[in-house]
């Protein structure tokens, strides 16, 4: 009797453990495959050249041609935009393809602007929908009036219009006035740093890190000031246009070599004195265009992800599962009980 009781308790414990365990998929097979790959790669890297090996021919070439051929003091930039310029060209358009892919995936349902005859065909359903929406509207008005009676005031439309020491907490879409003030002060400085990295690209810097800095500035503004006020400046129409201009500039710079020098991505601009801003010929032009491309591309990708609307799901299912989220906390509890 006692043993049976103990067993059943253990069974229950096992059952709970199984239920709480994170769902996984063929862990044994995965472990064997991962370990096998680790073994193969481990043997491979063991025989790779180590820190005492001499530089590869390509690297030596990049180091020696940087000054005489390109008038640039930064071999990494010389490799990125000069020697392996074609590869960077391809990479740029891979980035562009990824950004367009994200834009396609995150886009919301678009309103159709041409006549499709739907209005005539679905007039009856439309009427029912309008009536339903109107009813829902009155319900919403009633609910907000009820909330106002209970003293749940809403703050002013933007957090900046809110007086210090206001009785209600600051709106959660922006951070406190200290953070906002600091970001207002720092964001221009950081943006200048990003541009400096690109313009003085003959020393470590260049388009990719500069663009990443600009994306950081945009994200700082987003986090501190809130989505609503940043999207007013970072409009998709404007940023997409800038990105296309960057891509076009890159094509022009790379094709210029083909037109004027007979080879793709060859230098066709005059090389000015060492250690000056225009010293790298097309390198600096390419780097600047890449700066625009990376900054706008990553901004578009991030804002596309952040602004992903609740969309595309099955209509009835959306309404069903949206109900508990939209209603007040007490109602949510009731909905879960049902």
Give the distance from CA 13 to its chain's centroid.
Answer: 43
Residue closer to another protein (CB basis): 191 or 300: 300
Q: How far is the CB of 249 from another protein (least distance, A)?
A: 17
Residue closer to another protein (CB basis): 41 or 241: 41
Residue closer to another protein (CB basis): 53 or 164: 53
Q: How far is the CB of 47 from another protein (least distance, A)?
A: 10
Q: How far is the CB of 88 from another protein (least distance, A)?
A: 7
Q: How far is the CB of 131 from another protein (least distance, A)?
A: 28
Instruction: Single out the residue of 283, 257, 279 nearest to residue 268, CA to CA.
Output: 257
Backbone angles phi and psi of 26, in degrees to 5: 50, 65
Residue closer to another protein (CB basis): 182 or 220: 220
Using CA atoms, how far residue 196 sits from 10, 183, 289, in Å, is 66, 19, 14
Q: Considering Cα of 209, then 257, then 70, then 271, what sign does the dihedral take?
A: negative
**Interatomic CA distance for residues 120 and 15, integer angstroms:** 58
Residue closer to another protein (CB basis): 1 or 48: 48
**Interatomic CA distance for residues 100 and 17, integer angstroms:** 44
Q: How far is the CB of 166 from another protein (least distance, A)?
A: 35
| DSSP string over 199-256 | HTTTSS--HHHHHHHHHHHHHHHHHHH-HHHHTTTS-HHHHHHHHHHHHHHHHHHHHH
Using CA atoms, how far residue 207 sits from 21, 161, 295, in Å, is 46, 38, 9
Tokens of 338: 């049902």
Residue closer to another protein (CB basis): 88 or 224: 88
Q: How far is the CB of 95 from another protein (least distance, A)?
A: 5
Residue closer to another protein (CB basis): 4 or 47: 47
Q: How far is the CB of 305 from another protein (least distance, A)?
A: 6
HSE-up (13 A, CA, CB side) for residue 57: 0
């Amino acid at each position: 009797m006692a043993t049976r009781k103990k067993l059943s308790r253990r069974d229950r414990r096992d059952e709970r453990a199984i239920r709480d365990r994170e769902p996984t998929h063929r862990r044994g097979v995965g472990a064997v495959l991962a370990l096998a790959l680790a073994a193969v790669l481990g043997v491979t890297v063991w025989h790779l050249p180590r820190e005492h090996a001499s530089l590869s021919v390509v690297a030596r070439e990049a180091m020696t041609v940087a000054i005489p051929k390109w008038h640039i003091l930064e071999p990494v930039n010389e490799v990125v935009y000069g020697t392996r310029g074609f590869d960077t060209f391809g990479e740029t358009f891979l980035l562009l393809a990824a950004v367009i892919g994200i834009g396609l995936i995150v886009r919301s349902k678009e309103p159709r602007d041409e006549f499709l005859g739907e209005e005539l065909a679905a007039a009856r359903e439309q009427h029912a929908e309008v009536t339903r929406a109107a009813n829902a509207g009155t319900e919403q008005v009633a609910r907000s009036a009820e909330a106002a009676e209970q003293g749940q005031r809403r703050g002013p439309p933007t957090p900046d219009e809110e007086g210090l020491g206001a009785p209600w907490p600051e709106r959660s879409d922006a951070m406190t006035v200290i953070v906002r003030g600091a970001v207002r002060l720092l964001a221009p400085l950081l943006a200048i740093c990003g541009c400096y990295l690109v313009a003085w690209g003959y020393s470590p810097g260049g388009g990719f890190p500069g663009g990443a800095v600009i994306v950081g500035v945009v994200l700082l503004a987003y986090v501190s000031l809130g989505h609503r006020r940043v999207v007013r400046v970072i409009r998709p129409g404007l940023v997409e246009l800038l990105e296309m201009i960057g891509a076009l500039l890159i094509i022009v710079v790379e094709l210029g070599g083909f037109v004027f020098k007979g080879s793709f991505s060859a230098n066709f601009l005059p090389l000015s004195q060492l250690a000056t801003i225009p010293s790298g010929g097309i390198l600096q032009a390419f780097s600047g265009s890449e700066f625009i491309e990376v900054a706008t591309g990553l901004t578009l990708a991030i804002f596309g992800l952040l602004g992903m609307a609740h969309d595309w799901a099955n209509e009835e299912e959306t309404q069903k599962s949206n109900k508990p989220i939209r209603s007040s906390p007490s109602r949510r509890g009731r909905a879960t009980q049902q």
